[in-house]
A and B are shown apart, each in its own frame.
Chain A
Amino acid sequence: QKEVEQNSGPLSVPEGAIASLNCTYSDRGSQSFFWYRQYSGKSPELIMSIYSNGDKEDGRFTAQLNKASQYVSLLIRDSQPSDSATYLCAVNQLKAAGNKLTFGGGTRVLVKP
């Protein structure tokens, strides 16, 4: 079992719709969770951080965390073609020295006009 799992996609979403991305993790000791956006040929860009159970909203993005289910998700509202990218889920595992991040394989999102 991978430590951080994501559906690779592609997730095809019509423009203006909601894109829903899911991520599960195996280490119950994980404390911080991140969503990065990566455009093709570019480096990852941090878009959301979440620490506590529940929802956290920032603009069109909402991150949801459920530690009991070991599940973190990202919702993108009013999806735009510019949201087309690969979204990486990352987990900060306390047990790992140096606060290393473990990344999922990424979900590719395609927003169609």
Chain B
Amino acid sequence: GAVVSQHPSWVICKSGTSVKIECRSLDFQATTMFWYRQFPKQSLMLMATSNEGSKATYEQGVEKDKFLINHASLTLSTLTVTSAHPEDSSFYICSARSEAQGLHPYNEQFFGPGTRLTVL
């Protein structure tokens, strides 16, 4: 159980275009999903918290108009990188928090496999 998928697994795009990344919880419902970014040899950096049915909460320094988040259902959140530039090239990873407290009492987060974005 607790499987999270992401699509696409990798994407190469031209500078100035927009890229959408999907994050799905496959076998559980997730009121809350999280989006992280990871640059080579660095740790995870939380970008935003995605809440089903409400606006996302962005971390300090993360531009909400550039990184659009939509959490349309209890199993799907999307991250759109708008007007992507080479400095946006990174490994984007989502995670989902299980709401089944009896099964996951510690509010564990389960990660998707990640999306590697390369902006030319």
Q: Which residues of A are interface residues toward B (Cβ below 8 A)? A: 32, 34, 36, 42-46, 49-51, 88, 90, 92, 97-101, 103-106
Residues in B whose Cβ lies below 8 Å from that of A103: 43-44
Interface residue range, chain B: 20 to 34
A34 and chain B: residue at smallest CB distance: B108
A100 touches B34 (CB 8 A): yes
Instruction: Show 11 A/B contacts (Cβ-Cβ < 8 Å), sorted by A.
Output: A32-B108, A43-B93, A43-B114, A46-B109, A51-B105, A97-B49, A98-B57, A100-B49, A103-B44, A105-B42, A106-B43
Contact with A along B95-120 (1 / 0, CB 8 A): 00100000001111111111000000
> Which 5 pairs of residues, A with B, have the shortest CB-CB distance?
A43-B114, A49-B106, A32-B106, A43-B111, A98-B49
Chain A-chain B contacts (Cβ-Cβ < 8 Å), number = 53
Contacts A98-B49, A100-B34 hold; do A44 and B108 have CB atoms under 8 A apart? no
- A101-B113 Cα distance, complex, nearest whole Å: 18
A100 touches B43 (CB 8 A): no
- A97-B46 Cα distance, complex, nearest whole Å: 13
A104 touches B43 (CB 8 A): yes
- A49-B97 Cα distance, complex, nearest whole Å: 14
Shortest Cβ gap from B66 to chain A (Å) = 21
Question: Quick one: which of B42, B43, B51, B107 has the most chain A CB within 10 A?
Answer: B43
Residues in A whose Cβ lies below 8 Å from that of B105: 51
- A92-B104 Cα distance, complex, nearest whole Å: 14
Which of these, B42, B46, B57, B112, contacts A43 with CB under 8 Å?
Answer: B112
